[in-house]
Each structure stands twice: as C-alpha cells, then as structure tokens.
Amino acid sequence: MPIHLLWGDDEAARGRRVEVLIAELVDPAWAAINLSRLDGQDIAQAGRALEEARTPPFGSGARLVLLQRSPFCNQCPAELAEPFEATLPLIPSDCHLVLVNAAKPDGRLRTTKALQRLVKAGEAEEQAFQLPAIWDGAGQVELVHRTARELGLQLEPGAAEALSEAIGNDSARLASELEKLQLFGQGAAAQAGQAEAIGVEAVRALVGGHSTSALAVGDALLEGQPVAAIALVDSLLEGGEPALRIVAALTSQIRGWLWVALLDQRGERDVAVIAKAAGIGNPKRIYVMRKQIQGRPAGRFLSLLSQLLDVEAALKRGTDPGDAFRDGFLFAGPHGR
C-alpha cells in the first residue's frame, strides 16, 4: 500500500508508527536520498511531497515521503486538491506517501473521498491514533494494552489497570515507563531464569503514584473540598501543566455540568440532545454526569464558573499560579458565590 493516512491526537503513537514504516521500508544506506520529511503547513512543501511520491527510489529499498500536518484531508486548498487526486494513481509501488495529521479526516472533502476509496480497495492504509478522554477509564486501560503490544511487551493481570491509574492518558509518558519497566523486568527475569512480564508490583515500585487530572480537581470542587482541589492543582503545576490549560479544562467540565443540570430541569431526557447542547462528544458520559450532579442546583455551577473567571483574570494579570488558584478557590471574588 503506497499511501498511509495516520491521524489522531496520540502524537507518541503516531510517531512510533512512522518510525516503524521508515525502518521497514527505507534502506538506511539510501535514507539521505529516499527519505523526505516535509511540513504540510507550507503549501510548497505539500506540493513537493506529491512530486517526490511519484519519483522512483534510488538504490535499494523504497522511497518514503513523510508529510506532517498534511492538508490533503483537512481544509485542503483548492490549488492542492486537483494535483493530489491526479497523483494518487501515479505513485509507484516502491514509493510510500505518509500523510499525518492530528485532526480526523474531513469526509466531506473530495480529496478525502478519493483517498478513502483507495482504502476500501486495499490500495491505501488508514490508521487512527486517538487518546481516550481523561474520564474514560476503560479506554485508558486499552491504551496501555495497545501500547504494550506495539512495544512487544507482556503484562501480568492487573498491570494495565495499575499503569492507567498512575499515568492516565499521557501516551508519551506511558511508552517511556513501559520501556523502563521492560529493562527492570529483563533484569529480574534473568536472575530468576524466567520469561519477563510486567507485573503490578513493578509498576507500583517504579512508576509512582496516581495520575492527577483537571477532572479530579473539578470533582473536588463539586464536593465542596477546595483544599483538596488546591492540592491537586499544585500537583498538576509541579508536573508542568500550564495554569491556563487547567482553567480551560475545568471551565469545560463545569460548563458541561451546568448544561446537563439546566436541561434536566427543563425535562429533557434525550442524552444525544443534551450531549450536543453541552458540546460533549460521547453521549454516554451524560449518564455519569447526571449521577455526579444529582441534587445540586444549577446556581452551584454558576458560582464555580465565576470562581474560575477570577482565577483566569488573576493569571492574566501575572499572579503566581498557585496563589491565583488558592485565592480563587478559597475566597469568593467580585463575581460572588
């Protein structure tokens, strides 16, 4: 398959797949000529990718043209659409065009339709690399299993759950920790004369404590535990999480609760309608949110949003992030509770 479409927000997994393709297809001795790494945000480089994909490789091995941030299936400019469609049937079998984009392909585009016809015919490959939501525990466990399979590692029962609790949906850190656990397991297995497999005890010993997410902060605020929320925020800040990103995640979470509460009060029972209004991609999450906010008035969520507005204003005025969150969570600002 000379065309590979890789998309999704799991940048680490996408990167691993790209490196596997390069290792499988490109002869290292000819990589300087047969491997091109281009940026699709530059229209000139996107056009060059199409030209190079039609050029047979030199020497042994295949030619691989990697186009990061590919525009062809997402907001494709008119000047690229026609050349792209014309190029598809002209790519030699020993040339590989790898199109990478974090966004899901736009199925309305004619370029996307043309490529997906090739996928259905088995003449192209499409792979999705999507991170599970931070509230999706089952999806995070599956992410651990999938990453372990990609790295050729075996997990003992319970190890995937322990890793997902410790790391969450941080795909890059997950791969790093699995590689560290692999080295630890190889040493332990060599001493015991057994095949290595990653166990729960190794995860607890080497990976550390539980992951903290903005959702956990929101849950603490919902339960009226501002001190616990501040401790969680401090953990996120120490881990390098940008303060404004925490505010944005909390705002989205609490706004979702507010929408669910208001629509429930209005008598709306269709979870699809509620999810669309609240901007929530997975309607199944509405059932969880209803349980979380049961018995709480909508005014509670308005109060929390006003507190976050105070935090955001303080951050943009240059206040230390820890102080901004402490003041915003412990004391009502001019927006009041």
Return the closest-CA partner of residue 175 out of 18, 12, 20: 12
pLDDT of residue 50: 96
Q: What is the pLDDT of residue 199?
A: 85
Q: According to the model, what pLDDT value does residue 212 have? A: 58
Protein fold of 214-330: Zinc Finger, Delta Prime; domain 3 (1.20.272)
Structure-token pair, residue 44: 């000139």
- The number of helices, as runs of H, and strands, as runs of E, in the chain is 16, 5
CB 198 within 8 A of CB 153: yes
**Residue type, position 76, single letter:** C
Distance CA 1, CA 298 (A): 54
**Three-class SS of residue 100?**
strand
Query: Nearest Cα to 3, choosing from 25, 23, 30?
Result: 25
| Contact call for residues 89 and 95 (beta carbons, < 8 A) | no
At 164 the pLDDT is 84
Nearest of 67, 82, 74 to residue 112 by alpha carbon? 74
- Name the class of domain 137-206: mainly alpha
Neighbours of 277 (CB within 10 A): 14
Q: So what's the pLDDT on residue 335?
A: 44
Give pTM, 2 decimals: 0.64
The predicted structure's pLDDT at residue 41: 92
The pair of structure tokens assigned to 91 is 């790519």
> With contact defined as beta carbons under 8 Å apart, do 96 and 21 qualify?
yes
Kindly list the strands in the beta sheet with 95-101, ordered across the sheet, starting from the edge strand earlier in the chain: 35-39, 63-68, 95-101, 3-7, 124-128
CA 64 – CA 295 distance, rounded (Å): 58
- pLDDT at position 293, please? 86
For every residue of 73-134, DSSP letters joined together read: TSS--HHHHHHHHHHGGG--TTEEEEEEESSPP-TTSHHHHHHHHHHHTTSEEEEE--PPPT
- CA 33 – CA 21 distance, rounded (Å): 16
Domain ranges of the chain: 3-128, 137-206, 214-330
Q: Do 4 and 53 meet the contact criterion of CB atoms below 8 Å apart?
A: no
> Which CATH architecture does the domain made up of 3-128 adopt?
3-Layer(aba) Sandwich (3.40)
Those residues of the chain that have pLDDT short of 70 are 1, 134-135, 186-195, 208-213, 281-282, 332-337
pLDDT in tens, 174-198: 888 898 888 877 655 444 445 578 8
Report d(CA 31, CA 22) in Å as an integer: 9
User: Alpha helix (H) ranges present in the chain?
Assistant: 11-25, 31-34, 43-53, 78-87, 110-120, 137-150, 159-167, 171-192, 200-206, 214-222, 226-238, 243-265, 271-278, 285-293, 298-316, 321-330
- The number of beta carbons lying within 10 Å of the beta carbon of residue 165 is 17
Spatial distance between the Cα atoms of 93 and 90, rounded to a whole number of angstroms: 9
Least Cα distance to 251 among 207, 214, 299 occurs for 214
